[in-house]
Amino acid sequence: METFAEHYESMQQALRKFMPGADMAQIEEAVRYADEKHKNQKRKDGSPYIIHPLAVAEIVAEMGLDTDAVLGALLHDCIEDTDASHGEIAKKFGETVADLVEGVTKLTRVEYSTLEDEQMENLRKMFIAMSKDIRVVLIKIADRLHNTRTMQYQTPAKQISKCMETMDIYAPLAHRLGMQKIKWELEDTSLRYLQPQSYEEIMTYLNEHEAEAEAFMQSIQNTISGRLSSVNIHGTIYGRIKHVYSIFRKMQTQGKKIDEMYDLYAFRVIVDTIPDCYNVLGHIHDLFNLVPGRFKDYISTPKPNMYQSLHTTVIGSQGIPFEVQIRTWEMHQIAEYGVAAHWKYKQGGVGSGEEKNFEWVRRLLESQQDTDAEDYVHSLKIDMFNDEVFVFTPRGNVINLPAGSTPIDFAYAIHSGVGNSMVGAKINNRIANFDTVLHNGDIIEVLTSKNAKGPSRDWLNICKSNQARTKIKQWFKKEKRDENILHGKASFEGEMKRLSFSPSLLQDETLLPVLLQKLSFANLDDMYAAIGYGGLTATKAIGRIRDELLKATRGIQNPTQGGGGSPLKTNPDSEAVRRNRHAVGGVIVEDIDSCMIKFSRCCTPVPGDPIVGFITKGYGVSIHRADCPNAQNREDPKQAARWVRVRWDYDEEKPFNTTLELNCITRDGLLLDIATVMTASKVKVKELSGKDLPDGRSAFTVTFEVKNLAELDVIRNKLLNIRDVTGIRRGQN
């Protein structure tokens, strides 16, 4: 078991090495304070809780931040997990430290996996908070890094959920902040729990071939070192095998096994000056054969996360390709620690609000305006986390955009006025369509006109960046209100009719104020306008008022005798009325009116399966197959009240997603045979994937739509008749 003394000494060593000017007296006081506050708490492994804050503080120290950041790391769980308050921490350690701790506490409460609006708004606030003081997110990344290092003490379910969140949010965020060293560790550790078989396969191969890899890297290092010494260039050269997740991704994208991969090695040459970088590049190309199309100059065109380096891929006499990265020492520090190194080099360890100068943070702040929370978070994964494409203006200025961007994205990246007056575009001096995908190095010229009618609504489906989408919506919001109202009204009423609600409900003077209050609009025209310019979708609007519409519809169908209307002739207790009252999404929930229904992904039930329902917090009723492992604790007294009786509404015929997992003997053409059977069965396939296993076995997973269990059985029998398919089972996560 880890001890307090070990972690305390390790933190002090990091402080002495990376932060020699740190205020040790204040740090020691924070250690005593945190230890006292957490004294009755334990980690999952049984060790004292204080070990975690010490480890996080050590990581923050390695980033080379300042004393306040280290204090924030030591105290980061105090407000959330103890009786400590913002005021108490501010009194002892200063307002800045208290704000950092409170900021990290807010991030801790964010859950990315849900689509609920409130939690989406929390995530939005997290990124906005980051723009105010980047140290908040740096502490949170350090917190997540230590948690991944101790992931073995979590339950399997917790390991998977936390690692998925790490891959979705924290690793891409570390990349965006330029913190490659931390990003790699987050990715590799997460892969170990998300894809244990693939992880072990790669690690086993690397361990078995470690000796020959070391010999190859030493040979290349000696060759480069000898050349640089002969021309009096002072440099440090070292080689490494690419990290496990990088190898895994290449195996996936190229469809290769680990023993078929050659591009596994990377070398770094670190020199004193930028001219030396380009001199070294010339010598590398003289020593080895260049692989065409694999040279990138991130020194003259830095990445948005401040990364600078020369990249080239070459092949030596052994016929093995390898990458060489050439950079200065300052570039190397920024490549390893990103914004943390920038903090150290450019700000002298004092927060001055310079974070807002980062282009991507500025875009993030702009794009939150007039954007629905769920759309905003989706856009983050496009704008903030995806790869970039670097293109040029006719004057040679570099514009970076999300990969897959079009001339529309480029125009709005220049200025909203340029985008709004755009009538055409040239790419590399040739007229191009608005939906043409841009590539690195393209020179873009936007053709504008004073008589332009403004953007088209189709542009919202063409552009890739949230920045462009937001500016287009703002134009429609400002310039086309009457048109927006017409479009929004038609869309909203069309969605009502699709869901069997009468638009005449909106004329009810009692109901309408309730609906508008739930939707946060003053009147219907404002709501229609928002739908018309794209700030809100009709589907989402009706989702927020669905319960009220259902109640109103039932009130019309079943008026009381004293209400002045004609009573329904049908017996209210008849099976038909019960079905109308309870059927949602093809399922009837006993004793609960108009609740949300969610079909669990762990067992993907379809009509005909025995099913049970579980009342979840915020999601309504989750439907499971009765034999689902997650439904086996129905007798647990703590959960018994949340399990409810449900049954299929067989009068409602609709498709349901389900998953089959196939065990097979490996052979060529097997995936094609499976796809052929699914096509011949005339079902909609959502996903089809496979992987090879040891001992000549393969596993395939197919997710598709069926209407009932009988149709599923027919398809399962067809798949079993395929040669070398040895078994099939329903998917259960």
More confident residue, 709 or 127: 709
Going by their DSSP bridges, the two strands 643-644 and 611-616 should be labelled as antiparallel
Residue positions annotated with a catalytic role:
80-81
Spatial contact of 622 and 590, defined as CB atoms under 8 Å apart: no
Q: What is the pLDDT of residues 453-502, one digit of tens each?
A: 888 878 888 888 877 888 888 887 777 777 778 888 888 888 888 777 88
Q: Give the pLDDT of residue 350.
A: 39
Tell me how far CA of residue 27 lies from CA of 99, 538, 594, in angstroms: 17, 53, 55
- For residue 568, the model assigns a pLDDT of 35
pLDDT of residue 575: 39
Tell me what the mean pLDDT of segment 639-647 comes to.
78
Alpha carbons within 13 angstroms on the beta-carbon side of residue 228 total: 23
- What's the average model confidence in pLDDT over 379-394? 66
Query: How far apart, in whole angstroms, are the C-alpha atoms of residue 200 and residue 244?
Result: 10
Q: What is the largest CA-CA distance in the chain?
A: 103
Question: What phi and psi values does residue 590 have, to the nearest 5 degrees?
Answer: -70, 130
669 backbone φψ class: left, alpha, beta (φ>0; ψ -120 to 50) = left
Retrieve residue 706's tokens: 């069926």
For residue 504, give the DSSP letter: G
- Over residues 107-124, the mean pLDDT reads 47
State which of 203-212, 660-669, 670-679 shows the largest mean pLDDT: 203-212
Q: Which helix (H) or strand (E) holds 270?
A: strand 265-271
Lowest mean pLDDT segment, chosen from 111-115, 217-221, 222-226, 518-522: 111-115
Q: What is the mean pLDDT of residues 690-714?
A: 84
428 phi, psi to nearest 5 deg: 55, 45
What is the rounded distance in angstroms from the CA atom of residue 185 to the CA atom of residue 189? 6
Residue 410 has pLDDT above 90, yes or no: yes
Among residues of the chain, what percentage have pLDDT more than 90? 20
Q: What gap in Å lies between CA 89 and CA 539, rounded to an integer?
A: 46
Strand partners, 646: 589
pLDDT of residue 563: 43
Question: How far apart, in Å, are the Cα atoms of 164 and each of 73, 168, 169, 181, 715?
Answer: 24, 6, 9, 19, 32
What is the pLDDT at residue 556? 61
Q: 27-84: per-residue pLDDT in tens? A: 999 999 999 999 888 888 888 899 999 999 999 999 888 899 999 999 999 988 888 8
Query: Quick one: angle between helices 359-367 and 466-479, nearest 10?
Result: 40
Q: What pLDDT shows up at residue 124?
A: 57
With beta carbons less than 8 A apart as the criterion, state whether 533 and 476 touch.
yes
Nearest to 288 by CA among 234, 220, 214: 220
Mean pLDDT of the residues in the chain: 79
Least confident of 380-384, 403-407, 448-452, 590-594: 380-384
Residue 265 has pLDDT above 70, yes or no: yes
φ, ψ of residue 399 to 5 degrees: the values are -120, 125
Where is 516: in which H helix or E strand? helix 511-519
What is the reported pLDDT for 461?
81
- Residue 597 has what pLDDT? 79
Distances (CA, A) of 40 to 43, 76, 733: 10, 17, 36
If you count them, how many residues does the chain have?
733
Cα dihedral angle (507, 509, 511, 512), rounded to 10 degrees? 70
**Is residue 344 pLDDT above 50, yes or no?**
no
Is there a contact between 173 and 340 (Cβ–Cβ < 8 Å)?
no
Residues 6 or more apart in contact with residue 654 via CB below 8 angstroms: 585, 586, 707
> What pLDDT, on a 0 to 100 scale, did the predictor assign at position 132?
65
Q: Count CB-CB contacts under 10 A for residue 689.
A: 11
* Residue 283 in this model has a pLDDT that exceeds 90: yes
Q: Which residue has the higher pLDDT, 683 or 306?
A: 683
Integer Cα distance of 23 and 30 in angstroms = 11
Q: What was the pLDDT predicted at 557?
A: 54
Per-residue pLDDT at 440: 77
**Three-state DSSP class for 395?**
coil
Q: Yes or no: say if 691 and 585 are a contact pair by the CB < 8 Å rule.
A: no
Confidence (pLDDT) at 1 = 59
Q: What is the per-residue pLDDT for 439?
A: 85
Looking at per-residue pLDDT, the higher value among 491 and 267 belongs to 267
For the full predicted model, state whether its pTM sits above 0.75. Answer: no
Spatial contact of 93 and 81, defined as CB atoms under 8 Å apart: no
